[in-house]
Amino acid sequence: MLEVYDLEAGYGRLTVLHGLTFRVDRGELVAFVGANGAGKSTLLKTLAGAIIPNKGRIVFEGEDVTSLNTPEVVKRGIIYVPEARLIFSPLTVEENLELGAYPIRDEGVIRENFDFVYQLFPRLKERRRQRAGTLSGGEQQMLAIGRALMSNPKLLMLDEPSLGLMPKLVDEVLETVAKLKGLGKTIILVEQNVRESLEIADRGYVLQTGRIVLEGRGEELLQSDLVRKAFLGL
C-alpha cells in the first residue's frame, strides 16, 4: 500500500530524516520505535503532507504523493492522529466526529461510520452531547481516533496514542489498536510503550537520529539486543 524511498525531510535547514526506505503492506500494523528526537513524529507529519520532503519518494497505492499537501493526502485516505490529539474542545463529541467525516458525501456511509465508532467506543456514545474539552484524557484519545475513523481511512497513522494516560488506559487504547488491525485496518503506530507496540505489530522499524537502524517482525525486534538494551532495560 505504501512505499517510501530514500526519504529526507526536516524543518528549514534542519534535516531530521535521513534516507528512510520502508514499506507498509495492506492490512499490516507497522510500528516505528525510537528515543525522543529520533524523528518518529516528523516521519508521520511528512507522510501526512504537513512537511514536504527535501528528497525521496512517497508512493501510496501506486501513486506518487510526495509533493501533495495535507488536504490532498487526506483525499487519498491517509489519516493522521497527532500526538496532541487536537480535538475541538468547545464542540460536542458528536460534532467532533461529524467533522472527521467531512471528506464523505454519502449520509448513509456517515451513519454507518457513527455506528462503527460508537460500537468501538461505547463511552463516546454515552457522552455524545458532552463538550469534548470536559472528557478525560483517555476519552479524548478515543475521540481523536474515532474522529479519524469517521473518514474511512485506508491508512491510519497514530502518533503516541497512549501518551499521558494511566497504565490501565494505555492497555485499553492499545487493545483498541490491535482490534482495528484485526478488522483489517492498515496502521502505522508510533508509540512510547515499545514492548506493547511491538507485541501487537506485524513488523517494526527502529529509528535512531532519523535513520532506520533495525527492522523486522515485531517479535523478532523484541528479542534483539538493541531493543532490549535501549528500550526494555534488559
Contact 131, 123 (CB under 8 A): no
DSSP structural state of residue 133? G
Q: Domains (ranges, CATH) in the chain? A: 2-77+154-230 (3.40.50.300), 85-143 (no CATH)
Cβ atoms of 41 and 91 closer than 8 Å: no
Integer Cα distance of 140 and 144 in angstroms: 6
How many alpha carbons fall within 13 Å on the CB side of residue 162?
Answer: 21
Q: What is the dihedral of CA 115, 163, 83, 138, to 10 degrees?
A: 30
Per residue in 114-165, pLDDT (tens digit) is: 999 999 999 999 999 999 999 998 899 999 999 999 999 999 999 999 888 8
Distance, CA of 22 to CA of 9 (rounded, Å): 15
Helix (H) or strand (E) holding 173: helix 167-182
Residue range 10-30, pLDDT digits in tens: 999 999 999 999 999 999 999
pTM over 0.85: yes
Q: Which residue pairs, CB below 8 angstroms and at least 24 apart, start in 176-184?
A: 176/120, 176/121, 176/142, 176/145, 177/29, 178/29, 179/120, 180/120, 180/149, 180/156, 181/27, 181/29, 184/27
pLDDT of residue 230: 84
180 pLDDT higher than 70: yes
**Residue 193 pLDDT more than 90?**
no
203, 207, 228: which is closest to 216 by C-alpha? 203
- The grid coordinates listed for 14 are 534542519
Angle between helices 137-149 and 93-100 (to 10 degrees): 30
State whether the Cα torsion 70-75-80-84 is positive or negative: positive
What is the reported pLDDT for 171?
A: 87
Which tens digits make up the pLDDT trace of 123-134?
A: 999 999 999 999
Query: Residue 234 — pLDDT band, cuts 50, 70, 90?
Result: low
The confidence score (pLDDT) of residue 36 equals 87
pLDDT digits (tens, 9 = 90+) for 51-102: 999 999 999 999 999 999 999 999 999 999 998 888 999 999 999 999 999 9
Residue 55 corresponds to which cell in the numbers above? Answer: 528528497
For residue 189, the model assigns a pLDDT of 97
Q: How far apart are CA 233 and CA 131, in angstroms?
A: 41
CB 58 within 8 A of CB 65: yes
